[in-house]
Amino acid sequence: MAICLCVSMINYGAHGCRPSGQGGGKMKLARIVSFLLAVAWSALSALGQNNASVAERLGFGRNAKLLIVHADDVGMTHAVNAATIKALESGGVNSASIMVPCPWFPEIADYAKAHPDADFGLHLTLTSERVYYRWGPVAPRDRVASLVDENGYFWHDWTAATRIEPKDAEAELRAQIERAYAMGIRPTHLDSHQYRLYANGKELFEALLRVAHEKKLPFFVARDWFAEHPYLEPSLSTADMVIDHTVTIDPGVPPEKWAEFYRTAIKNLQPGVTEFVIHVAFADEEMKAATRERETWGAAWRQRDFDFFTGAEFRELLRDEKIHLVTWRELARAR
């Protein structure tokens, strides 16, 4: 529309202006045409910027392979916090998200406050999946009654019989974000523990959208999910950041194949933005006790993730495959 308007104004300048002198009229017309051409060029440049890929807006080629290595569950235990900090400082892991309701949240909040350049998001949490190590809501329990069990903890799991009220979920999301801000965290993005806000219906996803838009924060959503959850894509606005792919290791991968899984995923990485969702911790006595009821996402699992992504092989693979690490902070600037 801007370009059409410019053409109309140029035509008006050529045929409708009646300057007092021929020379002055030509100079005026030249200035008008120059100005309108500059406006048109600006509009075309903006259009080109809007059509540019995320990679191009970040200064890479259109077919660049960009990777976020993202550590989940920060704040769950001291072992998770310590391993995440070391992994971030190693440079292999470059992003992470924090669980505000968890007991070790204050420790990582202090670190995040002291390291404002670290790429910390909030891992919005509505479940407490461990058997002996539990947490509950940040909001008053009577305001989020559908989220908690008879003991006041978040539900272990959501079954077909579990009725989660979207208004309760939204109230808890707001409470978690406000507590994070109050304790000095300035999150770069939002995501969802166990993907609950993506995989459990349109109403919960829209609760996330309302809060994210209000706080002006990007949130993790990938095109990979659109086919399985068809309500995701129509709910998004044109301003929302959508990454291309996500990779997370499956519980069926045996420990001896751990490095092979990640090696294959890296070598097959597609152009665009991919997020590896990983879980790091030191397999110490604390972590073993907190996760002792099952091996999935347990102490040994998290130690293997830490070992791979802080090791030399991972850095060599990035170099050999010409993969660039990017953060959510950088993606937000490219919106």
* Predicted pLDDT of residue 126: 98
* Predicted pLDDT of residue 18: 42
CA distance 87 to 93: 5
Q: Which H/E stretch holds residue 143?
A: none
Rg (CA), the chain: 25
Q: Is 73 left (phi over 0), alpha (psi -120 to 50) or beta?
A: left
Are 295 and 135 spatial neighbours (Cβ–Cβ below 8 Å)? no
The DSSP secondary structure of 146-184, one letter per residue, reads GGB-TTSSBPS---TT----HHHHHHHHHHHHHHHHHTT
* Predicted pLDDT of residue 32: 55
* Predicted pLDDT of residue 46: 41
* Predicted pLDDT of residue 53: 79
For the chain, what are the domain ranges?
A: 2-51, 54-333
* Predicted pLDDT of residue 198: 97
Which residues of the chain have a pLDDT value below 70? 1-52
Count CB neighbours of 99 within 10 A: 23
3-state DSSP of 72-122: EEECCCHHHHHHHHHHHHHCCCCEEEECCCCCCHHHHHHHHHHCCCCCEEE
* Predicted pLDDT of residue 152: 97
- Cβ burial of 150 (10 Å; 0-12, 13-18, 19+) is exposed
User: What letter does residue 270 receive in the DSSP assignment?
Assistant: P
pLDDT in tens, 196-251: 999 999 999 999 999 999 999 999 999 999 999 999 999 999 999 999 999 999 99
CATH annotation of 54-333: 3.20.20.370
What spatial distance separates the first Cα and last Cα of the chain, rounded to whole Å? 22
Contacts of 30 (CB under 8 A, 6+ apart): none
* Predicted pLDDT of residue 284: 98
The phi, psi pair for 124, rounded to 5°, reads -60, 125
Q: Pairing mode, if any, of strands 272-278 and 245-247?
A: parallel
